Amino acid sequence: MDFKKSRITILKILISVVFLFLLTLPVNYYINYNYSKTLNTFYSEFNQCNFDDAKETLSDNSFILKLKKKVMTTEVSKYFTSIITTLCNELKNNNIASDQAVAVFKEIKSYDILDESLDKLILTLDQNYISEDSSLYKSYLDLALEKYNAGEFSEAINMFSKIPYSQLEYYNTAQDYIEICKSSYKQALFEEADKLASEDYYTKAIDLLSSADTSILSSNDKDIENKISSIEIARDEYLATDYYIDNAQTTSTSLLQNLNTETINTLNIESNTPYFVYVNLNAQKTYVYGGSSNNWTLEKEFDCSTGIESEATPKGVYTVTGRGDWFYSDQYEQGGKYWVQFWGDYLFHSLPYDESQSTIVDYTLGVPASHGCIRLAVEDSKWLFDNMPDDTKVIIN
């Protein structure tokens, strides 16, 4: 009798378990169906940039969302990560404007699901980004350090400067690095200037220092001023002496004034291109050499006209820095075609034309006649314009 009762009890329990299992099936289906429906609605609204509607979808305090909160957070996090990856690729391929991507990233940030790396990503695109999250300042600091290590000193200083005194933990580090940025930039500038000066590019070294980034250094930085002065002294001494230094070899002025195929390859003269140009002021000749150090071949010899005594063409070592089809001077009421720049306003260019560009106003060649530039026959200036690369060495003496 007891055994029979026991069997009945077990049967009742089994029936109850089966009943409960069968009951949970529709409940689970209902919960999962509505959860999936809610999540798909969210995805759809977010994909269409209906951000308010998307956020409202997940703001529902229903029992289902509360029950699935942990799973929902994981799935939304994966979804946001995929969006960020896609947008980063689109940015890389220039298929989307940075401000569009930033707008989406900021919306994702507002869900407070992803970590602080999202702040860092936004900051790379929008350095004026402000967040109430204190971790933002850590991101500012990290990003600024990356820019400093990459030698992007101006941008690094801009980032360091955004960290307020109230964030003392990061502020002191930022202030230290601002000074380090300035010092590193100045050191790199001086090293480049010294390198140029050692190669006799004194004017180029001075121009480099004179155009120092004023967002990093003061426009009247004393170290820069002193460095410029020292290079100017070296340049003056270089031009005043009877010897020019080129690649640790001394070459006398008299020898430079008589460059030819017999002597050119004894001077160790180097250029950053396969050409170099020599202007002989006494002979009023422009020589173009092709090749490389101690292997130069005379390719062109042009009659030229350099500056008159009161507006002399500057002597020295320069490089080609630019070119253009035409310029016109209102001061002298004449212009030139096919100009090639070697220092400031000093150019190689054609014989002078009137403003209409149709009439040559002075055919003089072979004697000084210009206002400091080096005049050439039209066809010669065109050849120089077409064939002489930027950074070609130019020697004038």
Share of the chain residues as helix, strand and coil, in percent rounded to the nearest 5: 50, 20, 30
From the list 299, 286, 270, 298, the residue with the least C-alpha distance to 348 is 286
Residues 71-95: b if buried by 16+ CB within 10 A, e if exposed: ebeeebeebbeebbeebeeebeeee
pLDDT digits (tens, 9 = 90+) for 333-348: 999 999 999 988 899 9
Contact 156, 162 (CB under 8 A): no
Question: Strand 295-305 to strand 285-292: parallel, antiparallel, or no bridges (unpaired)?
Answer: antiparallel
Q: Please tell me the predicted confidence (pLDDT) of residue 245.
A: 38
**pLDDT of 18 strictly over 60:** no
Catalytic residue (choose from 181, 304, 371, 373): 373
Residue 285 CB burial class (10 angstroms; 0-12, 13-18, ≥19) = middle
Residue 104 CA to residue 376 CA, distance in Å, equals 59
| Residue 252: strand pairing partners | 243
Catalytic annotation on 371?
Answer: no
Return the closest-CA partner of residue 322 out of 340, 349, 338: 340
So what's the pLDDT on residue 13? 64
Active site annotation includes 49: no
Task: Specify which residues 287 forms β-bridges with.
Answer: 278, 301
Report DSSP letters for 231-292, one per residue. Answer: HHHHHHHHHHSSEEEETTEEEEHHHHTT--TTTGGGS----SSSEEEEEETTTTEEEEEEEE
Read off the tokens for 132: 């109430």
Percentage of the residues of the chain whose pLDDT score is greater than 90: 29
Q: What residues contact 289, with CB distance under 8 A and at least 6 apart?
A: 264, 275, 276, 277, 278, 296, 297, 298, 299
pLDDT of 19 strictly over 60: no
Residue 38 has pLDDT above 60, yes or no: yes
Query: With contact defined as beta carbons under 8 Å apart, do 184 and 153 qualify?
Result: yes
Inform me whether the pLDDT recorded for 37 exceeds 60: yes
Predicted confidence (pLDDT) at residue 360 exceeds the cutoff of 90: yes
What's the pLDDT score for residue 366? 96
| CA dihedral (103, 109, 115, 120) positive or negative | positive
Computed over every residue of the chain, the mean pLDDT equals: 82
Task: Summarize the confidence of residues 260-287 as an average pLDDT.
Answer: 86
Per-residue pLDDT reduced to its tens digit, 48-88: 989 898 888 887 666 777 777 888 888 888 988 888 888 88
Contact criterion met (CB below 8 Å) for 362 and 302: no
Cα torsion 310, 313, 315, 318 to 10°: value is: 150
Separation between Cα atoms, residue 104 and residue 276, nearest integer Å: 54
* Range with the poorest average pLDDT among 249-253, 273-277, 298-302, 334-338: 249-253
Tens-digit pLDDT profile for residues 229-243: 888 877 766 655 444
* Mean pLDDT, residues 103-110 taken together: 86
Instruction: Single out the catalytic residue among 181, 304, 349, 371.
Output: 349
CA 167 – CA 245 distance, rounded (Å): 54
Ordered by start, the domain boundaries in the chain are 1-114, 125-240, 244-396
Which pTM was predicted? Answer: 0.41
* Nearest alpha-carbon partner for 76 in 102, 121, 107, 116: 107
Of the chain, the percentage scoring pLDDT greater than 70 comes to 82
Q: Which CATH superfamily is domain 244-396 in?
A: L,D-transpeptidase catalytic domain-like (2.40.440.10)
Identify which has the larger pLDDT, 69 or 286.
286
